[in-house]
Structure 1
Amino acid sequence: MSKLIGITADVFLGETTAINEKLMDFVPRPAVNAVLAAGGIPVSLPYIPKEKINGLLERLDGVIFPGGPDIDPTFMGEEPIPELGVTNRDRDVFEIALVRTAVATKVPILGICRGAQIIDVALGGSVYQDLESQYPGKVLKHHQSAPGDQPTHFVSVDHDSKLFKTIGDNVFVNSRHHQAIKAVPEGLHIVAKATDGVIEGIENDDASVQAVQWHPENMWEHDSRQLDIFKDFIERI
């Protein structure tokens, strides 16, 4: 039986002609297609009240946290810096609670870009509010101008990780983010880095929690290793 995979929805904050009002929930079509290609059934998850999360997870086999806006720094005990981008506190509240409940109830989760960051923050880590201005070293260009389905920099992967078993080492990836993981909490391990040292992958001991900083959903049609991330996630379920 195909596994039901929830994908948390973003919210289009402006007005749209599609429904002639503001606040339209949406899930990126490439992520939907990647889950389908990997053998799962995707389910859109707009943010809902925290008290409904247990009932939601009872119906799902796994959850994917995709990209989206910046994370509100107050969840890390920080005030916002001028370089902080658009945030959506309501989505943060929902996803942080969803991550924590999924981990507590052993529902596997996969993070993509912002998804990696929200998993990290939810479990006690922190992110750079703005990578370029806060990172202590010289950074690569992590918000590419090239088309999103094209790779632009390389990532090294820890050979002892589940991620390495899935995609190998020296992976050529795309890059579309200006926040990034800063500190990883206890229970999670850094399993991939860019050549400038920026964290590009995290997972726990059994990879029931796994996340990458790039966007495999935009590359899987041209790079089978990127689809393997979704396949292995579903197989672990």
Structure 2
Amino acid sequence: MSKVIGVTADVFLGATSVINQKLMDFVPRPAINGVLNAGGIPISLPYLPKEEINGLLERLDGVIFTGGPDVDPTFMGEEPIPELGITNRNRDLFEIALVRTVVAKHVPILGICRGAQIINVALGGNVYQDLASQYPGKILKHHQSAPGDQPTHFVSVNHDSKLFKTIGDNVFVNSRHHQAIKDVPEGLQIVATASDGVIEAIENKDASVQAVQWHPENMWQYDSRQLQIFKDFIDRI
């Protein structure tokens, strides 16, 4: 039986030409197709009151946390710096509560870009509010100008990780992020990095929690290893 996968929705903050209203929830089509091609049934998850999470999870076999705006730094006990981008506190509140609940229930989750960051923050870690100004060393271009489905830098993968069994090492990935994981909490391990040391993937011991900083949903059509990330996630359910 196909697994039902909740996919967190982003929010289009401007008014749209379709309904001429603001706050339209959406899930990018490539992420939906990635789940479908991996054998899952995708369900869009707009942010909801925390009280509805337990009922929601009765209908889901796994959850994918997708990309989107910056994580509100107050969830890390920090004040916002001038370089912080757009945030959406309501989405953060929902997703942080969702992460903690699914981890407690041992429901498998996959994080993509912002998804990796919100998982890390929810479990006690933090992120650079602005990678370019806060990272202690010289960094690569992590917000590419190239089309989003094209890879722009390489990632080294820990050979002892579940991720390595999925995609191998020296993976050529796309890169489209303003923030990045800084400190990883107990229970999570760093399993991939860029050549500048920026964290590119994390997972827990059994990979029921796994997250990548790049966007495999934009690359699986051209790189079978990126589709395998979705397939292995669903196989772990």
Does the alignment reach a TM-score above 0.5?
yes
Match of 1:108 in 2: 108
Match of 2:17 in 1: 17
Distance apart, 1:232 and its partner CA: 0.1
Match of 1:174 in 2: 174
Q: Which amino acid aligns with 2:69?
A: P
In 2, Cα distance between equivalents of 1:82 and 1:9: 27
Q: Secondary structure at the match of 2:196?
A: coil
Match of 2:133 in 1: 133
Match of 1:56 in 2: 56
Q: Which amino acid aligns with 1:44?
A: S
Match of 1:124 in 2: 124
In 2, Cα distance between equivalents of 1:19 and 1:70: 26
Distance apart, 1:17 and its partner CA: 1.2
Q: Which amino acid aligns with 1:79?
A: E
Match of 2:234 in 1: 234
Match of 2:65 in 1: 65
2:92 equivalent to 1:92: yes
Distance apart, 1:81 and its partner CA: 0.3
- Normalising by the residue count of structure 1, what TM-score does the alignment of the two structures yield? 1.00
In 2, Cα distance between equivalents of 1:220 and 1:203: 20
Distance apart, 1:233 and its partner CA: 0.1
Q: Secondary structure at the match of 2:182?
A: strand
Match of 1:198 in 2: 198
**Number of positions where the alignment pairs a residue of Structure 1 with one of Structure 2:** 237
Match of 1:217 in 2: 217
In 1, Cα distance between equivalents of 2:55 and 2:224: 35
Identity %, equivalent residues: 85
| 1:154-169 equivalent positions in 2, closer than 5 A | 154-169=154-169
Distance apart, 1:88 and its partner CA: 0.1
In 1, Cα distance between equivalents of 2:100 and 2:58: 14
In 2, Cα distance between equivalents of 1:55 and 1:209: 21
Extract unaligned runs of 5+ from structure 2: none
- Normalising by the residue count of structure 2, what TM-score does the alignment of the two structures yield? 1.00
Match of 1:189 in 2: 189
Distance apart, 1:20 and its partner CA: 1.3
**After TM superposition, where is structure 1 displaced by more than 2 Å over at least 4 residues in a row?**
none
Match of 1:36 in 2: 36
Q: Which amino acid aligns with 1:211?
A: A
